Amino acid sequence: MYICICKGITEKMLLDQIRPSHNSQEQILKNLGIGDSCGSCVVDAVKKILENQNNLDSKTKKSDS
């Protein structure tokens, strides 16, 4: 699914930015160029980032136990 039509950014491209490192939301958006054009994708992109960061944090905490 496309997150940003203007830049052709897919959900997979967004998720790939989240998984390997703990970049901030702002850094992920900047790396992909999300919000540089019309900006209508930013809310959905941030929502997706937060959901996935929370999922990763939950998995990390479970594996630490």
Quote the number of domains for the chain. 1
Nearest to 18 by CA among 44, 40, 50, 43: 50
- What tens digit of pLDDT does each residue of 25-35 get? 999 999 999 99
Is the overall model pTM greater than 0.95, yes or no? no
**Which domain CATH number covers 10?**
1.10.10.1100
Q: What range defines the domain where residue 10 resides?
A: 2-64
Average pLDDT value for residue range 1-21: 89
